[in-house]
Structure 1
């Protein structure tokens, strides 16, 4: 009886869920039928007559072809290298910035700094890519400043040694301010009496940060750090697609951009699907591992 009452009471809420469920089914689950292309020798002519299952099945031949491509090890390494740097830097930088903002006594100054650092996050990489390209060009603002210091100019957009680190730096510029929000929220949850006790014990600001602030933030740091493992193969397609060029393919080409050229520009849809499925499987494993670690070390559970 109580169950019927609950269903009747929550029925409007279930109706509100229907549009969202329909969108997920249509745009997220139905297209997954196309994953069958990864195991076929896809023929677009036969697809137009028989659908997904008209092309001949070749088993794991597409995956063997992908793993045997001479460029694939380099692309995989670039993806892991850039993504790992972004994960590490994207975890440390917001923490440091949140700690610095927490020390600003003037509320009006704190709000101005927050607003200025948040702004890049709300701009697309198309817009930021043009700005970054102008600033880091051979005759751009940065190289003009280096010339003023009598230093050699740096070819940021065409030097394979510099390009990956430029990607990480510009990604931090875009995301650090916004990612700081959650750490500032964690700071507000720390009991003020702990700081009062630390002052009585003679702790200065650095000691308070080391022994009160950081331990108070540690659960959220561990949680976000472990959950970020799921992005180990997400090096940022939009950013790299806007900023890279054939000169820096050696250090800047990642799985997503490689798949774009092979699958879409090269019209090898079966190979592109195999690459995408490989990435999804690795991401699924890493997400599962990250949630297991988050549950163990941060007591975080979805269900």
Structure 2
């Protein structure tokens, strides 16, 4: 049976909507059959996101209930926005917001540019063995547990035998209690993050730099441009879209500072500046059993993150840059 056709004004025939749909369905089936093993490889990733990302999203309903473990999830009393109201009225809200935003701001100012600068420096290394060795060395800290990083910080900075304070005492006659002084908490967190993740963050930027057309550098050399001019006018514009996309994604984590690192570096003396939303959710939800209240705090963080991602993407597109969608 041939394809169904319909007459046109000129006496010609053209495929009907039914035949077009059948042809499209046939193409889809052929593509599925041809790439069936690729779709099989895709299944574990889909199952992971389905089971661990989408199904647990039902748990956000706890934020609108007065959850009692013995009553159960569905039978717990519905309280609407009561937990959000209590959270915003809590005197700790603005302290937590300030601490969280300041840490995120310092991360954007000091940590975010660090992998870019390091990638640009590595890109200038011409001896291959040196470049690979340096890359290996700066990747290693990423695989060290944050618990180990915190332990190293304690050993180095403690006032009782820490090498940093011993050197300070030897040259200045004074010691600084880095671990207990609230003013030193944020710099320590940023320095730990840079040391641990800066090298790993260069991977994406080095991949972007590998795609820069070498002929542009050759033309710049013929025009008399030095290395700084080449970096400014060729290298950075070539990876600008990558930088903007990563910055947009980073904006979604403005209220996410990482629980483990903050928790391990927090003590009774620096808590005033160390408490952030992540640690507050843990204290209220796990140690005090306020499951619904802590869920409301976590949902607030997620909503703010989504708004910031969409806003950043919108601004980037307004300035003619490629966004994440």
Q: TM-score, normalised by structure 2?
A: 0.85
In the alignment, is residue 41 of structure 1 matched against residue 62 of structure 2? no
Q: Is the 8 A contact 2:149 2:192 kept in 1?
A: no
Residue of structure 1 equivalent to 2:291 = 269
RMSD: 2.0
How far did residue 151 of structure 1 move? 6.0
Given the superposition, is the C-alpha separation of residues 223 and 15 from structure 1 closer, same or farther in structure 2, using an over 3 Å criterion? closer
CA deviation profile, 1:72-109 (whole Å, cap 9, x unmatched): 21011111110121123222111111222222233222
Partner residue of 2:244 out of 219, 222, 228: 222
How far did residue 60 of structure 1 move? 0.9
Residue of structure 1 equivalent to 2:254 = 232
CA deviation profile, 1:211-238 (whole Å, cap 9, x unmatched): 2222223222222222211111111212
In the alignment, is residue 298 of structure 1 matched against residue 324 of structure 2? no
In 2, the alpha carbon distance for the partners of 1:81 and 1:151 equals 32
Residue of structure 1 equivalent to 2:15 = none
In 2, the alpha carbon distance for the partners of 1:293 and 1:151 equals 52
Given the superposition, is the C-alpha separation of residues 218 and 248 from structure 1 closer, same or farther in structure 2, using an over 3 Å criterion? same
Structure of greater relative contact order (alpha carbons < 8 Å, 6+ residues apart):
1
More moved, 241-250 vs 144-153: 144-153
Partner of 1:231: helix, strand, or coil?
A: coil
Structure 1 unaligned blocks of 5 or more: none
Structure 2 unaligned blocks of 5 or more: 1-25
Residue of structure 2 equivalent to 1:112 = 133
Q: Which has the larger radius of gyration?
A: 2
Q: TM-score, normalised by structure 1?
A: 0.90
Q: Is the 8 A contact 2:245 2:324 kept in 1?
A: no
In the alignment, is residue 123 of structure 1 matched against residue 148 of structure 2? no
Given the superposition, is the C-alpha separation of residues 24 and 99 from structure 1 closer, same or farther in structure 2, using an over 3 Å criterion? closer
* Count of residue pairs brought into register by the alignment: 298
In the alignment, is residue 87 of structure 1 matched against residue 116 of structure 2? no
* Counterparts of residues 165-176 of structure 1 (less than 5 Å): 165-176=187-198
Given the superposition, is the C-alpha separation of residues 16 and 223 from structure 1 closer, same or farther in structure 2, using an over 3 Å criterion? closer
Partner of 2:91: helix, strand, or coil?
A: coil
In the alignment, is residue 53 of structure 1 matched against residue 74 of structure 2? yes
How far did residue 188 of structure 1 move? 2.1
How far did residue 149 of structure 1 move? 2.8
In the alignment, is residue 186 of structure 1 matched against residue 211 of structure 2? no
Partner of 2:99: helix, strand, or coil?
A: helix
Which structure shows the higher helix fraction?
1
How far did residue 284 of structure 1 move? 1.6
In 2, the alpha carbon distance for the partners of 1:104 and 1:12 equals 41
In 2, the alpha carbon distance for the partners of 1:205 and 1:246 equals 50
How far did residue 252 of structure 1 move? 1.2
In 1, the alpha carbon distance for the partners of 2:37 and 2:211 equals 35
How far did residue 288 of structure 1 move? 2.3
Given the superposition, is the C-alpha separation of residues 279 and 8 from structure 1 closer, same or farther in structure 2, using an over 3 Å criterion? same
Residue of structure 2 equivalent to 1:26 = 51
In the alignment, is residue 278 of structure 1 matched against residue 300 of structure 2? yes
How far did residue 293 of structure 1 move? 4.2
Q: Is the 8 A contact 2:244 2:323 kept in 1?
A: no
